[in-house]
Chain A
Amino acid sequence: SYVLTQPPSVSVAPGQTARITCGGNNIGSKSVHWYQQKPGQAPVLVVYDDSDRPSGIPERFSGSNSGNTATLTISRVEAGDEADYYCQVWDSSSDHFGTGTKVTVL
């Protein structure tokens, strides 16, 4: 099984930058996707294929992936960005999700 490790929590002040990491063995050789999940709601895709954004997702959301770490960056953080964030990778014919990171806006 392919393990994806995320920090349990990240705290950031409004207007600042939040960086959420997703660690996995040689993850840089795979495509990573990111989801935002607000309380009581279904996950929403915010970044796919390492760094592409679906339509309707603000440019403030960006992604990168290299080596053993993928990163979701949220610039100019707003109160509405407070949520859980999950990374996802397809490996060995199975889908794998990260452990999840709770982003708190101070």
Chain B
Amino acid sequence: QVQLQESGPGLVKPSGTLSLTCAVSGGSISSSNWWSWVRQPPGKGLEWIGEIYHSGSTNYNPSLKSRVTISVDKSKNQFSLKLSSVTAADTAVYYCARAVVVVVAATRWFDPWGQGTLVTVSS
């Protein structure tokens, strides 16, 4: 079955850029799914960041859109997140997840999820 694994630096300096990669195994990133990033600040709830399709099409959370870039590398079966101008408020566990889309029903859900990686923004 499909498995996802996040990787990247666990510490980023304020005003810097957070960069994470999600490796997809057990399935192709070129399948009919979207690939998403979700984050969770310590002790708080889940926040959707954005998503990408294998064609390169993206959708972003409007509240983060100006700082987020999501890209895909089909040759490596992985996708990546960049979040610029980070502050302490961006400290969170970052998850990647597959979004299963049902177009006719205009709905989607996330399954599976990666294990998550904690990114701390601090000098």
Which A residues form the contact surface with B (CB < 8 A)?
Answer: 1, 30-31, 33, 35, 41-45, 48-49, 54, 86, 88, 90, 93-100
B30 adjacent to chain A (CB < 8 Å): no
Question: 14 interchain pairs (CB within 8 A)?
Answer: A31-B102, A35-B110, A42-B114, A45-B112, A48-B100, A48-B109, A49-B105, A49-B109, A88-B46, A88-B110, A95-B51, A95-B108, A99-B45, A100-B46
Which residues from B are CB-within-8-Å of A45? Answer: 109-112
Nearest CB of B to A100, in Å: 5
Determine which of B36, B45, B100 lies in contact with A95 in the assembled complex, contact meaning CB atoms within 8 Å.
Answer: B36
Q: Is the interface of B mostly helix, strand, loop or mixed?
A: strand
Identify the closest chain B residue to A42 (Cβ): B113
Q: Which residues on the B side are within 8 Å of A49 (C-beta)?
A: 102, 105, 107, 109
Q: Cβ of B115 < 8 Å from any Cβ of A?
A: yes
A86 with B46: in contact, given A42-B116, A49-B105, A95-B36 (CB under 8 Å)? yes
B45–A48 touching, CB < 8 Å: no
**Which residues of A lie under 8 Å from residue B113 when comparing CB positions?**
42-44
Interface size class of B (residues with CB under 8 A): 20 to 34
Residues A42 and B102 in contact, CB atoms below 8 Å apart: no
B73 CB–A CB distance under 8 Å: no
Q: Is B26 an interface residue when CB atoms closer than 8 A count as contact?
A: no
Residues of A with C-beta under 8 A to B45: 86, 97-100
List of B residues within 8 angstroms of A93 by Cβ: 59
0/1 interface trace, chain B 94-121, chain A, CB 8 Å (1 if under): 0100011010011111111111100000
Residues of chain A within 8 A of B110, CB atoms compared: 33, 35, 43, 45, 88, 95
B36 to chain A, nearest CB (A): 7
A94 near B109: Cβ-Cβ < 8 Å? no
A95 cross-chain contacts in B, Cβ below 8 A: 36, 38, 48, 51, 99, 108, 110
